[in-house]
């Protein structure tokens, strides 16, 4: 026994297998009883060995213990399996041992099945057969590690395979030979075993039948094979599970005589089996024509019920042929024609109407189904059976709910001292924080410092501060501990040489002063945020003293962020410098007075007066933001007041207030590529420079091509920054979705800010709206956003139609979801706007030269006709007129003609 156990410990598998063949029954019993204890000893020895190692932490010990014990058992699994087969006396005990978790290891080295069979062959035949059957029943999946051994033992022992589906599937996956003794028992089970069809789904008929198709044809009696296929079809299942049996049935090619005896079964397959099976059944039924009339009626009704146009058309052909032979049978096929009237395929509907006109004389046979037909087809039947010409009646008047009331903007919440101490995540919270911090830092800095001491400030940063929260923490830290941060980046700092600082500022428990802890680390592992800094010259601002700040080197590059995001950071940067230089103004100019971002002109003048009385000049970016928040148009009364203030900022504001404000920038989009490579880039340029370099060169700059994912955090802040020019906000939003994998950054909630703002919307907004519309969820409030814009008269319908067309053509967005969304929008109160969108969209949805029209394209034209009838739309669409002039009777051509005729009054 010791020799056998030593061979297992040393994992000498070949010598172990040879020695097991020479054991006596007494030796086998003794070793078999010792095997479970051996496994326990091996585990205990490995655990003791690991306990002697020096570990820094308990988790390291636990990790090594689990890993090394598993690795040891993986290596010994084959030796233990051979020992179990060669020594354990009871078949049940032997199977339990070799399938247990210590022996049947998922990551064990490959088992030599021949060696295992040779060891098992040294045991009594009855023992071998019992073990083989028990092992086969333990198979759960075709790739079970024990499956090859179980199949090999069944072959070697001559045992009768158990009735176990996973065994059949595992056997199919293995290499077999023509004289495999399991074939007679397992091959017939292929027709019943769950999972067998899926395992064989890749079998092919061409260029020659592959292995299992050929084997079944050769080794299974023909009648049994045909019956097996048909019974498998009747059990149902997914198409891929039945693919092998369809091909086998085609290979067997039942004769009409063989089919006649199974006709009832084939008829049962017509109404609901997967398409390939139903087509097969239809071919078999056709092969035994003529059949009993009742059976034919059943078959035609089953086929016209099918969603597949091909199968429904087969049923209508059979109906036509039968009524040519027996016209008096028309009444029996009336229900089948009515079923075809309601088919989703226009071609099926059209064929059914043609057959009705050809064979049916009594209109009552099909009267119940006429309402399901398109209007032009229904008119043909109405004319035929009423005896009077029928013209398509105008669609009944449709009433729509009113568009929602446009809510008035609410007053902006007043900044409070508590706003500085609260977490900030929204644009309103940020503006309140800026206003409150500036006011309190100039009014009572000691009180503000005391309030900020009551909380910890944890902050991980790189040299560049790209998140507004970085600047908030920096401002708080500077107020508590002036001069805490270096003013210049390290001389050796390169874009890839990261510097990360963790800062904690807190109140000492027994002292009144603040304590600053700082830890600086270098290296890639400590990276947080954008790496690198931006020299002022890159921004084109270095030569302008009015906009130069020490903090600009902490700003990200313009090409890496959206212009509006960078401008927001400029506001923080200048405030930070003013705090360090002790030149904070008493009040910020740009804090909105309405929650859509607008600033009352009179309030702006009040704040300019406050700054002038305090002898402080407002900050440049703050002034620029304030001007961009003024309502559209001139404000002469406020301009007159501002001109009397006397400060440089007030003079700039007076000139702005006296004019008509900023002319709307010129915007657009640029599309490139198609499919997965599609890109859309916003285009933005000033109609005329304002003279304010922060506005001209930062805020209203052309967005870069490569906006970083890292900085795409605040699209819902953009519209309140430019509330009179919301198309600028849209361009900045669009800059963050340059590829289809970025579209999820857009949300309806974020873009709804644009609906609350002012100014025309153009192509950039249309692309954003289109992306949200075509990718909306069932409960997405996108339609509500479009209704709000429609109620303002601001929905960019022409641009939206144009850009939706680009999304369908380039990004391959689905037509049906788009039509469904537009239908919902129309039904909710915006049919006129939907029609205006469709006029621009339809030319992009139509098939190109040489393309065949699809069903969704036909449905889109039909929807357009419906919307046109709701609102009485007129006006030719040239592309539709050209397609309607083609010959043919396809549904698409018919729908184009219907739309052309609906719009015809404009052509008179």
- Whether the pLDDT of residue 177 is over 90: the answer is no
- Whether the pLDDT of residue 502 is over 50: the answer is no
Q: What is the rounded CA–CA span in Å between residue 567 and residue 722? A: 11
DSSP code, position 531:
-
Residue 525, pLDDT score: 32
Q: Report residue 503's pLDDT band, with 50, 70 and 90 as the boundaries.
A: very low
Q: What is the rounded CA–CA span in Å between residue 122 and residue 828? A: 82
Q: Report residue 516's pLDDT band, with 50, 70 and 90 as the boundaries.
A: very low
Residue 131, pLDDT score: 95
Q: Which helix (H) or strand (E) holds 516?
A: strand 514-522
Q: What is the rounded CA–CA span in Å between residue 379 and residue 619? A: 74
* Residue 543: other Cβ atoms inside 10 A: 10
Residue 796: alpha-carbon gap to chain centroid? 27
* Residue 360: other Cβ atoms inside 10 A: 21
β-strand partners of 507: 514
pLDDT tens for residues 859-888? 999 999 999 999 999 999 999 999 999 887
Q: What is the rounded CA–CA span in Å between residue 864 and residue 859? A: 9
| Domain assignments of the chain as residue spans, ordered by start | 2-230, 242-386, 761-908
- Whether the pLDDT of residue 281 is over 50: the answer is yes
- Whether the pLDDT of residue 486 is over 70: the answer is no
Residue 779, pLDDT score: 57
Of 124-128, 395-399, 710-714, 898-902, the one with minimum mean pLDDT is 710-714
* Residue 688: other Cβ atoms inside 10 A: 9
- Retrieve residue 678's tokens: 């599609």
Output the CA–CA distances (angstroms, integers) from residue 436 to 429, 584, 606, in the order listed.
10, 12, 17
DSSP code, position 190:
G
| Residue bearing tokens 């704040």 | 607
pLDDT tens for residues 609-637? 999 999 999 999 999 999 999 999 999 99
β-strand partners of 478: none
Of 277-291, 304-318, 714-728, the one with minimum mean pLDDT is 714-728
Residue 793, pLDDT score: 94
- Retrieve residue 342's tokens: 């309601």
- Retrieve residue 828's tokens: 């909710």
Q: What angle do CA 275, 847, 903 make, to 5 degrees?
A: 110
Three-state DSSP class for residue 521 = strand
- Whether the pLDDT of residue 473 is over 70: the answer is yes
Of 203-217, 700-714, 817-831, the one with minimum mean pLDDT is 700-714
Q: Three-class SS string for 25-93?
A: HHHHHHHHHHHHHHHHHHHHHHHHHHHCCCCCCHHHHHHHHHHHHHHHHHHHHHHHHHHHHHHCCCHHH
| CA-closest candidate to residue 242, choices 195, 182, 187, 310 | 195
Residue 250, pLDDT score: 96
- Percentages helix, strand, coil for the chain, rounded to the nearest 5? 60, 5, 35
Residue 52, pLDDT score: 67
Residues in the chain: 908
Of 116-120, 309-313, 742-746, the one with minimum mean pLDDT is 742-746
- Whether the pLDDT of residue 326 is over 70: the answer is yes
Kind of pairing between the strands at 666-672 and 679-685 = antiparallel
The average pLDDT across 638-647 equals: 95
Max distance between CA atoms of the chain, in angstroms, equals 117
Q: What is the rounded CA–CA span in Å between residue 722 and residue 545? A: 25
The average pLDDT across 646-651 equals: 94
β-strand partners of 666: 685
Residue 529, pLDDT score: 37
- Whether the pLDDT of residue 264 is over 60: the answer is yes
| CA-closest candidate to residue 691, choices 624, 600, 604, 608 | 624
Task: Say which residues have a Cβ less than 8 Å from residue 394's Cβ, sequence separation at least 6.
Answer: 869
Q: What is the rounded CA–CA span in Å between residue 503 and residue 820? A: 53
Are the beta carbons of 606 and 646 closer than 8 angstroms? Answer: no
Percent of the chain topping pLDDT 90:
58
pLDDT tens for residues 793-843? 999 999 999 999 999 988 778 899 999 999 999 999 999 999 999 999 999
The average pLDDT across 99-103 equals: 87
Output the CA–CA distances (angstroms, integers) from residue 860 to 65, 152, 885, in the order listed.
65, 61, 18
| CA-closest candidate to residue 232, choices 246, 221, 215 | 246
- Whether the pLDDT of residue 104 is over 80: the answer is yes
Q: What is the rounded CA–CA span in Å between residue 222 and residue 227? A: 9
Q: What is the DSSP string of 697-738?
A: IIITSPPPS---GGG---GGGHHHHSTT-HHHHHHHHHTT--
Are the beta carbons of 657 and 639 closer than 8 angstroms? Answer: yes
Q: Which helix (H) or strand (E) holds 684?
A: strand 679-685
Within 13 A of 504's CA, how many CA atoms are on the CB side? 6
Angle between helix axes 58-87 and 25-51 (nearest 10 degrees) is 170
Output the CA–CA distances (angstroms, integers) from residue 150 to 101, 174, 278, 865, in the order listed.
17, 12, 38, 67
Q: Report residue 497's pLDDT band, with 50, 70 and 90 as the boundaries.
A: very low
Residue 164, pLDDT score: 95
Residue 712, pLDDT score: 54
Residue 303 phi, psi (nearest 5): -75, -40
Are the beta carbons of 742 and 776 closer than 8 angstroms? Answer: no
For the entire predicted model, the pTM comes to 0.63
- Retrieve residue 790's tokens: 């429609």
| Residue bearing tokens 């519309």 | 773
Residue 204 phi, psi (nearest 5): -125, 150
| CA-closest candidate to residue 165, choices 184, 147, 189, 144 | 189
pLDDT tens for residues 765-802? 999 999 888 877 655 688 999 999 999 999 999 999 99
Strand order in the sheet with 499-507: 457-461, 499-507, 514-522
Q: What is the rounded CA–CA span in Å between residue 861 and residue 867? A: 10
The average pLDDT across 567-586 equals: 95
The average pLDDT across 434-446 equals: 93
Of the ranges 137-151, 272-286, 538-552, which is most confident?
Answer: 272-286
- Whether the pLDDT of residue 457 is over 60: the answer is no
Q: Which helix (H) or strand (E) holds 173?
A: helix 165-173
Are the beta carbons of 470 and 461 closer than 8 angstroms? Answer: yes
CA dihedral 247, 251, 255, 258 (to 10 degrees): -60
Percent of the chain topping pLDDT 70:
85
CA dihedral 353, 354, 358, 364 (to 10 degrees): 0
Of 747 and 620, more confident: 620
Output the CA–CA distances (angstroms, integers) from residue 562 to 156, 520, 814, in the order listed.
73, 30, 30
Residue 110, pLDDT score: 66
Residue 552, pLDDT score: 63
Q: Report residue 509's pLDDT band, with 50, 70 and 90 as the boundaries.
A: very low
Task: Say which residues have a Cβ less than 8 Å from residue 893's Cβ, sequence separation at least 6.
Answer: 853, 883, 884, 886
Of 382 and 598, more confident: 598
- Retrieve residue 588's tokens: 């910020």
Q: What is the DSSP string of 197-251?
A: HHHTTT---SSS--HHHHHHHHHS-HHHHHHHHHHHHHH---HHHHHHHHHHHHH
The average pLDDT across 239-252 equals: 96
> Mean pLDDT, the chain, as a whole number?
85
């Amino acid at each position: 026994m010791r020799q056998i156990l030593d061979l297992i410990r040393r994992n000498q598998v070949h010598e172990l297998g040879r020695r097991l063949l020479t054991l006596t029954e007494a030796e086998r019993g003794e070793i078999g009883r010792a095997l479970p204890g051996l496994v326990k000893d091996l585990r205990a020895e490995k655990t003791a060995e690991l306990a002697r190692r020096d570990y820094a932490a308990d988790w390291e010990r636990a990790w090594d213990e689990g890993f090394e014990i598993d690795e040891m058992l993986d290596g010994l699994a084959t030796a233990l399996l051979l020992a179990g087969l060669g020594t354990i006396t009871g078949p049940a005990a032997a199977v339990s041992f070799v399938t247990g978790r210590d022996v049947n290891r998922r990551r064990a080295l490959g088992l030599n099945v021949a060696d295992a069979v040779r060891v098992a062959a040294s045991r009594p035949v009855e023992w071998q057969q019992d073990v083989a059957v028990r092992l086969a029943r333990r198979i759960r999946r075709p790739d079970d590690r024990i499956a090859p051994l179980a199949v090999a033992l069944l072959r070697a022992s001559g045992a009768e395979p158990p009735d176990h589906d996973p065994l059949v599937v595992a056997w199919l996956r293995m290499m077999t030979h023509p004289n495999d003794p399991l074939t007679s028992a397992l091959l017939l089970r292929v027709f019943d075993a769950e999972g067998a069809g899926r395992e064989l789904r890749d079998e092919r008929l061409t260029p020659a039948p592959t292995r299992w198709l050929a084997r079944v044809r050769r080794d299974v009696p023909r009648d049994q094979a045909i019956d097996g296929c048909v019974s498998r079809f009747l059990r149902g299942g997914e198409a891929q599970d039945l693919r092998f049996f369809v091909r086998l049935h085609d290979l067997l090619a039942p004769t009409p005589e063989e089919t006649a005896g199974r006709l009832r079964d084939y008829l049962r397959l017509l109404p609901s089996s997967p398409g390939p099976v139903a087509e097969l059944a239809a071919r078999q039924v056709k092969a035994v024509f003529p059949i009993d009339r009742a059976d034919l009626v059943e078959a035609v009704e089953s086929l016209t019920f099918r969603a597949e146009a091909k199968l429904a058309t087969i049923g209508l052909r059979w109906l036509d042929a039968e009524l040519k032979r027996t016209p008096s049978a028309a009444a029996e096929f009336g229900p089948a024609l009515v079923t075809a009237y309601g088919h989703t395929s226009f071609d099926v509907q059209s064929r059914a109407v043609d057959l009705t006109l050809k064979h049916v004389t009594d209109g009552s046979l099909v009267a119940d189904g006429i309402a399901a037909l398109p209007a032009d087809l229904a008119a043909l039947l109405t004319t035929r059976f009423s005896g009077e010409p029928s013209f398509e009646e105008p669609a009944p008047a449709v009433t729509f709910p009113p568009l929602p009331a446009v809510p008035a903007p609410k007053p902006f919440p007043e900044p409070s001292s508590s706003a500085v101490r609260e977490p900030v995540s929204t644009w309103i919270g940020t503006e309140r924080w800026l206003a409150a911090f500036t006011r309190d830092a100039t009014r009572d800095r000691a009180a503000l410092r005391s309030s900020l001491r009551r909380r910890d400030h944890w902050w991980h940063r790189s040299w560049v501060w790209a998140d507004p929260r970085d600047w908030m923490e920096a401002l708080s830290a500077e107020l508590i501990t002036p001069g805490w941060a270096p003013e210049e980046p390290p001389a050796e700092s390169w874009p890839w040489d990261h510097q990360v600082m963790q800062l904690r500022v807190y109140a000492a428990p027994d002292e009144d002063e603040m304590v600053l802890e700082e830890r600086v680390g270098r290296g890639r592992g400590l990276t947080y945020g954008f790496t690198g800094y931006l020299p002022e010259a890159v921004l084109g601002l270095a030569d302008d003293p009015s906009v130069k700040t020490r903090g600009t080197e902490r700003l990200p590059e313009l090409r890496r962020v959206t212009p509006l995001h960078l401008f927001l950071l400029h506001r923080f940067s200048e405030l930070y410098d003013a705090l360090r230089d002790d030149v904070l103004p008493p009040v910020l100019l740009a804090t909105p007075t309405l929650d859509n971002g607008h600033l009352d002109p009179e309030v702006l003048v009040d704040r300019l007066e406050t700054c002038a009385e305090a002898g402080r000049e407002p900050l440049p970016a703050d002034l620029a933001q304030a001007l961009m928040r003024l309502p559209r148009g001139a404000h002469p009364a406020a301009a007159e007041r501002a001109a009397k203030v006397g400060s440089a900022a007030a003079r700039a504001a007076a000139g702005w207030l006296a004019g008509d404000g900023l002319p709307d920038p010129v915007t657009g989009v640029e599309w490139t590529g198609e499919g997965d490579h599609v890109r859309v880039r916003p285009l933005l340029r000033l109609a005329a420079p304002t003279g304010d370099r922060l506005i001209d060169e930062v805020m209203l700059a052309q967005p870069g091509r490569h906006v970083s994912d890292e900085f795409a955090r605040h699209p819902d802040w953009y519209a309140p920054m430019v509330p009179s020019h919301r198309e600028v906000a849209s361009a900045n939003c669009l800059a963050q979705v340059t590829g289809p994998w970025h579209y999820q950054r857009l949300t309806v909630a974020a873009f709804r800010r644009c609906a609350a703002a002012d100014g025309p919307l153009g192509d950039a907004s249309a692309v954003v709206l289109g992306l949200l519309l075509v990718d909306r969820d069932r409960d997405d409030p996108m339609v509500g956003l479009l209704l709000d814009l429609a109620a303002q008269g601001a929905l960019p319908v022409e641009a939206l139609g144009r850009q939706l067309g680009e999304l369908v053509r380039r990004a391959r967005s689905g037509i049906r979801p788009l039509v469904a969304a537009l239908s919902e929008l129309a039904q909710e109160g915006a049919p006129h706007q939907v029609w205006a969108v469709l006029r621009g969209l339809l030319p992009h949805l139509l098939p190109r030269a040489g393309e065949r029209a699809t069903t969704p394209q036909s449905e889109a034209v039909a929807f357009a006709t419906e919307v046109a009838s709701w609102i009485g739309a007129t006006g030719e669409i040239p592309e539709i007129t050209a397609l309607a002039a083609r010959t043919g009777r396809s549904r698409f051509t018919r729908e184009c003609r219907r739309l052309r005729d609906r719009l015809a009054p404009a052509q008179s």
